Chain A
Amino acid sequence: MIRHFDQQIADLLQKLVRMGRLAESMIQVSLRALVERNESLCEEVHHKENEVNELQIQVDERAVTLTALQQPVGTDVRFLFMSSRIATELERIADQAVNICGNAHHVLQGSPLKPVIDLPVMGEVAEKMVRDSLEALVRKDCALANEVLVEERKVDAYRDQIFRILLTHMMADPGTIERALALILISRNLERVGDHATNIAEEVIYLVEGREVRHSHELKIRESPAGEKNHVEP
C-alpha cells in the first residue's frame, strides 16, 4: 500500500536534496572567488544562503508537523528526526561557504601569496563528501555513507599539509601572516564541511539501519596504523 505519508516523506527528501545542491555549489563558488580573485562571486553565495536558511526552517516545520500528525514509527520516525538533523548540517555547510567568502576577502586584500592549488583540491574532496552523503541518503546506501566516513581522513590530511606550507611562508616573511592565516582559516572551513558531511553520513546509517555509528567510527580511525594518523592541531 502506498501511503499519502510516503509522498510527504518524498517531498521532505526533495527539500534536503535541494539544500544539499545549494550548499555544495556555495562551497564551489566561494572557492572560485578565491582562486579567480573575484569577490563579486560572493554575492551568489550570500543569495543562496538565504534560500538554504529558508529551506532549513521548512524542513524542521514539516518534520514537526508530520511527527505530530502521523505518529511515525520505525524507518519513518528515524527519517523525520534525521531529516531535521541533516538540514542543520547542510545549513552549517552553507555557513562555511559564507565564512570562506569572508576569509577570501582578507586574502584578496594583498597580492597573491602563492598559487592557490591545495585548497581547491581539498574543496573538491569536501564537496564530494557532501554530494555522496546526500546520494547515500537518497539511495539509502550505507556502503556509500561509509565511504564518506573514510574520506574525512583525507580532508584532515589536506588541512595539515596546508598548515605546514603556510607556516613556512609566515616564518620567512611576517608580512604574509594576515593572508596566510586567512588561507589557513579557509582550510579549517573546508575541514568543517567534511565534518558536517560525515555527520550526515552517520545520520544516514542510523536512518537506514537503525544502527548508531556516531563516535564509534572515530575510534576505529584513531586506532588505525600510525602512518594514517594525521590529526595535528595547528
Chain B
Amino acid sequence: MTPKLETRALDLSYGPFHALKQVSVAIRPRAITAIIGPSGCGKSTLLRVFNRMNDTIPGVRVSGEVLLDGQSIYSPNTDIQQLRKKVGMVFQRPNPFPLSVFENVAYGPKIHRLANSGRLHEQVEASLKQTGLWDDLKGRLNASALALSPEQQQRLCISRLLAVEPEVLLMDEPCSALDPIATAQIEELLMRLKARYTIAIVTHNMQQAARISDETAYMLLGELVEVGQTNAVFTRPRDPRTEQYISGRFG
C-alpha cells in the first residue's frame, strides 16, 4: 500500500540539538499510527514535520525527504497554506478561538473560501456531526466556544479541522487534558474518523496507543527504534528497548 505520509532519512536539528536522526517511517492511509516514546524523544517534532510547523522555530534545519502522497512537502514550491489545510493538527490543550461555536468551525472554510454563505451552514453542521457535537450544540451555535466542557472544546477543535476537508489529522496528546470518560469518547471518535482520514497521534499513554492505533512507532533519543503493527509491537516487540519502554521498565 502506498503510504500517505513518508519520511526518508530525515534529520532535524534545532540549532546544535539533533532532534531527529535518520528517521524513515511510512504512515498508512486511513489508519491510526501512534508515535510513542519518552519525553524529548522527538515524537512531537516528527509530528510537526508533517505540516511544517517546525518552520516557525528559528535555527531549525531539516534534511532528508518528507513526502505526502509521494510528493515532497519541503520543496521550494510547496504551498504551505495548502499543506496545512490538507494536514491539520490538534493540540494537547483544546484551543478554540474566543468566538462562537459556529464561527470556530466556519473560520477555516471562510479563509480558504471553501464555501459560500449558503453552503457554509451545511459545512459547519456536517463537521459538527462528524465529531458527535451537533446534537448537543445545534441549539447553541452562537454560544461562546470557551463555555464548552474541555471534551466538547477538543471535539470542536477537531470539527474546525474537518471543516477545511483535510486528508491527514495530526494529534499531539489530544486527550492529555481530558478525564478518562472524555478520553474514551475522543478515542471512539478517532476510531470512527480513521475510515476517512489518515491519523497520526503522539501519546504518552501507552494503553491509549495500544487501544486505538493500527500501527505503533517507538522513538528514543531522536531515533525511530521500531515501527510495526500495534498488536505485534505490544505483544512481541522486536527491539528490547521497545519492550523496556512499553512494559514500564524504562521511561
Contacts and interface: CB of A to CB of B under 8 A. Distances in A.
B249 A75 contact: no
Contact of A74 (B207, B236, B250): B236
A74 B236 CA distance: 5
Contact of A5 (B206, B210, B248): B248
Interface in B224-251: 234-237, 242-243, 246-250
Contacts of A215: none
A22 B29 CA distance: 54
A127 B250 CA distance: 40
A74 B243 contact: yes
A1 interface: yes
Contact of B206 (A3, A73, A76, A78): A73
A71 B210 CA distance: 10
B235 A210 contact: yes
B248 A74 contact: no
Interface in A61-108: 71-78
B236 to A, nearest CB: 3
B207 A75 contact: no
Interface in B167-208: 206-207
Most chain-A CB neighbours within 10 Å: which of B206, B242, B247, B250?
B247
Most chain-B CB neighbours within 10 Å: which of A1, A72, A73, A76?
A73
A56 to B, nearest CB: 24
B234 A73 contact: yes
A73 B249 contact: no
24 contacts: A1-B249, A3-B248, A5-B248, A71-B210, A73-B206, A73-B210, A73-B234, A73-B235, A73-B237, A73-B247, A74-B234, A74-B235, A74-B236, A74-B237, A74-B242, A74-B243, A74-B247, A75-B243, A75-B247, A76-B247, A77-B234, A77-B235, A78-B235, A210-B236
